[in-house]
Every structure is written in structure tokens, then in C-alpha cells.
Amino acid sequence: MRLPLRYILFGALACATGVAAAYIERRAEISPAQAQTAPAEAPAVPRSRAEIAYSFAPVVKKAQPAVVNVFASRVERMPANPFLDDPIFRRFFGEGGGGMPGRNTAQSLGSGVIVDPSGLVVTNNHVIEGMTDVKVALADKREIPAKILLRDPRTDLAVLKLTEGSNFPTMELGDSDALEVGDLTLAIGNPFGVGQTVTQGIVSALARTHVGISDYGFFIQTDAAINPGNSGGPLIDMNARVVGINSAIFSKSGGSVGIGFAIPVNMVKNVLATARGGGKMVKRPWLGATLQTLSQEIADGLGLDRPTGALLADVEARGPAAEAGLKRGDVIYSVDGQPADDPEAVGYRLATRPIGGVATLGVLRSGKKITTQIKLASAPEIPPRDPVKLKGQSPFAGATVVNISPAVIEEMSVQGAASGVVVVDIEDGSFAEQLNLQRGDVVLAVNDQKIGSTRDLEKATATRSYYWKITLARGGQVFTTVVGG
């Protein structure tokens, strides 16, 4: 079940004192005999300056130079206004009228981390989404322009490249699979634009799914304070290694309540590898099967003790799952020895594996545990996309559509449709935008004519009609509407 509260983009935290740590060390030095006579509730008094001065400063000093602030903007030209074209008006009020209609600048603020000396920066996609101009402020106060190398909306990650300078300070990438609940973590970023800030906490939970932040819902939960502006900043371990990219918080007020979520660094590595190789789109292994969450009722019917794992509800005839011998009714409970408690966990585990290898799946079939290897191949693009931008006077004018294929279904997260054409772009101010078409919508039929390809839709909308009967699939739901011509 998705969380009903809104998510806020976030940032980093402040250092904790060492009194508690000193107390733990003192208690560890007490012998068993002393422990029997000493009152359990007696506070331990620090015995040295070192105990009083216990600090995370060495970790912060090592990590902080690689943390950056990300400033993104986009200039939006407003509809033409003859009054604003008057040269006298522009002389007094400037281009756009000093905030009046003409030009409007959209801005966003977030954080990021340098992961390569050449100037590669990892941040959140939502920090730079829709933006065209990006600047990065380093810890040493330098501001450097950056270009966007890769956007990956499915994971809410983006990779930037600093366009000036070299030999930048970097932070090492850790292993998010090695994290345990209770591990100490620090979050570094720029909350509310106040400046670089450090906060401390622990790993509250692992493998958080059903959070509703991105397509790959598999997050590290931390109580380190994260606030707006921290988005894209690193979550680090006590060795000053990145273990996650802070992405969202759970909050009613907009401020931190101690429930923050970070994208595991093992997912970041896959996106970073694509950017380093010059790719513009991250390709991930295709399972070739539809997975379903196990309910207690289904688990009981399958003879399982508890509802953990991902049920194969359908298997593509020529997909990797079928080739691996998987069948409907099988339950995947692990990937390469790592537990997979639900479909989101299976998707995450496969998404962190490179194309071209194999993965070992732990499967429950008829109450017995078996293992099988599955090829890690990307989804095929059959039929080809054949993109078409629709024109004319139809409600679809301004929309760009492509043919549906396993690759498009994976890329656009299409649900419940195996035929039709998929909307991939909508022009601002177009008829399609007025109709409220959305990216990912699947056009199934127009005026009762089945749409099987982009050329079918182009032909069906080529002539003007008095009315348009449209059947769409969105979010797994199919609906029909009629609009005037």
C-alpha cells in the first residue's frame, strides 16, 4: 500500500555528540563482577578529554569536499504581449517586466556528490527535471557550470558533468547491500538553502518498498534529518563512503520527522556506468514475466508459511523467465542469494545487475525450493518504435506516440496493455495537452477503430470529425471518453 502522505525533497544533518558513545565504551570496560554490584542506571562520567571530544569530524572532513549544491533553472517565455514589446516599457522594467508577463524563470535547488575526479556529479532527477541551465557550487565556494549527461526518471537519478576544471575531490562508493539496521550514517546537503549541513542518525530500515517515489521502490530508511534542498545529497557510512542518495522524506509538515529515504548506492552504480559509457538511457535486465504481490490468502493457497516473495502471474512465451523454466504460480524469493520479499525487491535486485550476465533465482514451486539461472538481457524493441508526432485538428495533435513493445513497456512503466500505441511526449499548449493526455497513456482505439500502430493512429486522426470516441489505458485502467470535434 502506498504511503498516503506527501513526500518532500530533502537534505542533510547535524553531528551528534559523543557522550552516548563514551558511555557505551565505559560500560564495555566493566567486569562481570562489577556489573553485578554497580547500579544499572548509574550514568557514566567521561574520564578524559578524548571521551568528551568524541566526534564525527574526521569522517565529515574526508567526505564534505565532494558534496556540492546544485542550482538548476529554466527560462520560460510567456505568450507574446504587444504592451511588453514597447521599448520604453522594456527600458524601465527590463525583459519580462521585472516579474511581469514576458519571461518567467523556473528554479530548483538541491544537492549532489562528486564521484569522479573528472567532475561527474550524481544528484536526483527531480532536482534538474525540466531544467536547462545547471550550476554546481563546490564546498570551496567555486561555482561551475554543468551539463546534464543522463536523466533516469525511473530511479530518480541524474548524472552531471562539470564543464570547467579537473582533479575534483571525490567520494568513494560503498556497498548498500552490506548495510545493517542500526548502522550509523551521516547525511550531507543544503537544506532550505541555508548552506552545507551535516546530520547524523542510523539506518532505520532496509529494502523499504511500496513507498511510491520511483519505479524501483527499494529504499534505505534513515532517521538522519533530511529536509527540502537535501535531495541528491549523499548518505554516508563511517568510512566516508556513499551508501545512498537522499531522495525523499515522509512528513505532514514539510520538515523532517525522522523518516527519510535514500536510493541505495548499488542502484547508483548502474546509472553511473551508463553515463560513463556515453549512454543516454539506462538499460536493465528484462524478466519477461508479470509479478504479483503475495497476499496471506494466496500464500495459504500455495502452502507457504508467510506471504513473502513475488508470484509469477504471467510469463512471456519467449522471454528470459520462460527460457529459465519459470512457470505461472512460481514464487521468486531470492536473487543471487539476496532476499526478495515482493515484486519491487525482485525488480531492484535485477536492475542492479549488468546486461549480459546471469542471475541465480531462488524459486518456490509446489512447496519445494529450487534454483535456476536467468539470462540478463534487455527487453526487445519488437516492433520498432516508429515515432509519429500527430498534427491536424484532432484531440491528439501535439502528441508524439510510439509502437508498444517490451522495451517501451519497461521504459515507460506501462501497465495492463500489450497492444496500442504509447504517448511519449506532449507539446506545450497543444490539443493533446488540453485533452489532458499524459506520458505513458496507451491509445487503444479511436472512433471504435482499433489502433495497432503509430501509422494507424496517424491515419485515424488525419481527417476532422464531429466527435472523437477515444479508448485509453492509464495506470492499468481502461476507459473510454467522447470529446467534440
pLDDT of residue 337: 92
Nearest to 264 by CA among 220, 232, 205: 220
Model pLDDT for residues 376-388, shown as the tens digit of each residue: 999 998 899 999 9
pLDDT of residue 83: 39
Query: Which residues form the catalytic set?
Result: 126, 156, 231
SS3 350: helix
Plot region of 258 (φ>0 → left; ψ -120 to 50 → alpha; else → beta): left
The three cell numbers locating residue 147: 551539463
The three cell numbers locating residue 428: 506545450
pLDDT of residue 88: 40
| Distance between CA atoms of residues 236 and 359, nearest Å | 28
pLDDT of residue 112: 93
Q: Are 24 and 46 in contact (CB under 8 A)?
A: no
pLDDT of residue 215: 57
Nearest to 263 by CA among 226, 305, 307, 217: 217
Rounded to whole angstroms, what are the CA distances from 182 to 258, 341, 450?
A: 14, 21, 55
Q: Which residue has the cell 544537492?
A: 111
The distance in angstroms from the start CA to the end CA of the chain is 40
Helices (H) and strands (E) in the chain, counts: 13, 26
DSSP 384-415: ----EE--TTSTTTTEEEEE--HHHHHHHT--
Model pLDDT for residues 68-114, shown as the tens digit of each residue: 999 888 765 544 444 344 444 344 344 444 444 555 556 778 899 99
pTM attached to this predicted model: 0.74
The three cell numbers locating residue 362: 531462488
pLDDT of residue 4: 40
Domains of the chain and any CATH numbers: 1-13+56-282 (2.40.10.120), 19-53 (no CATH), 289-375 (2.30.42.10), 388-484 (2.30.42.10)
pLDDT of residue 383: 92
Residues of the chain predicted below pLDDT 50? 1-40, 78-100
Rounded to whole angstroms, what are the CA distances from 437 to 20, 98, 440?
A: 56, 34, 9
Q: Are 132 and 99 in contact (CB under 8 A)?
A: no
**92 secondary structure, DSSP code:** H
Cis peptide before 264 (omega within 30 of 0): no
**Residues whose CB is less than 8 angstroms from the CB of residue 275 and which lie 6 or more positions away in sequence, other chains included:** 120, 149, 150, 159
The three cell numbers locating residue 33: 563482577
